[in-house]
C-alpha cells in the first residue's frame, strides 16, 4: 500500500540475512551489541552498523536495563508508530494538495 511509505525502509532493513537474524535474537531483549556481535563472523563495527540500520528503520530499539544497554526488537512500538505517522503524513499531504487547488481555483475564477 503506497500510504505506508516508511515500510520500504523496514523492508530494506530486513533484506539482509544478518539483520534478520539480529531481529530474531533481539526479540527477548537480553543482549547488547557486543554480545550480539559474538554470534557473527564479522567485526564488532560491522555488527554495530547493521544494528544502526535496524534502529533507523524503527525495527529495533536500544534499551537501558541497569548498567547495560540491550537491543530489543520493536515491531509493536516504534515501528507501528512510525508507520502510522507515515499514514498521517499522507492524510495531510492530501489536505495540502486540496487547499492549494482551492486557492488556485478561486484565483482563476476571480481573474
Residues of this chain that interact with other proteins (CB under 8 A) are 1, 3-4, 7, 10-11, 14, 17, 20-21, 23-24, 58, 75, 77-78, 80-89, 91-103, 107
Give CA separation, 73 vs 23, 83, 93, 102, 111, in Å: 6, 16, 30, 44, 57
Helix (H) or strand (E) holding 72, with range, is: strand 68-73
How far apart are CB 58 and other proteins at their closest, in Å? 7
Shorter beta-carbon distance to other proteins: residue 65 or 89: 89
Shorter beta-carbon distance to other proteins: residue 34 or 105: 105
3-state SS track over 42-65:
CCHHHHHHHHHHHHHCCCEEEEEE
Question: Helix axis angle, 44-56 relative to 17-25, nearest 10°?
Answer: 80
How far apart are CB 98 and other proteins at their closest, in Å? 4
Shorter beta-carbon distance to other proteins: residue 34 or 56: 56
Shorter beta-carbon distance to other proteins: residue 6 or 32: 6
Residue keyed to cell 535496524: 54
How far apart are CB 39 and other proteins at their closest, in Å? 13
Amino acid at each position: 500500500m503506497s500510504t505506508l511509505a516508511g515500510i520500504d525502509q523496514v523492508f530494506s532493513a530486513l533484506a539482509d540475512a544478518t539483520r534478520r537474524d539480529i531481529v530474531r535474537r533481539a526479540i527477548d531483549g537480553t543482549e547488547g551489541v557486543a554480545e550480539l556481535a559474538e554470534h557473527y563472523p564479522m567485526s564488532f563495527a560491522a555488527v554495530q552498523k547493521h544494528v544502526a540500520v535496524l534502529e533507523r528503520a524503527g525495527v529495533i530499539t536500544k534499551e537501558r536495563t541497569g548498567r547495560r544497554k540491550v537491543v530489543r526488537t520493536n515491531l509493536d512500538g516504534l515501528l507501528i508508530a512510525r508507520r502510522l505517522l507515515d499514514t498521517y503524513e499522507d492524510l495531510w499531504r492530501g489536505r495540502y494538495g486540496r487547499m492549494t487547488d482551492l486557492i488556485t481555483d478561486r484565483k482563476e475564477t476571480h481573474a
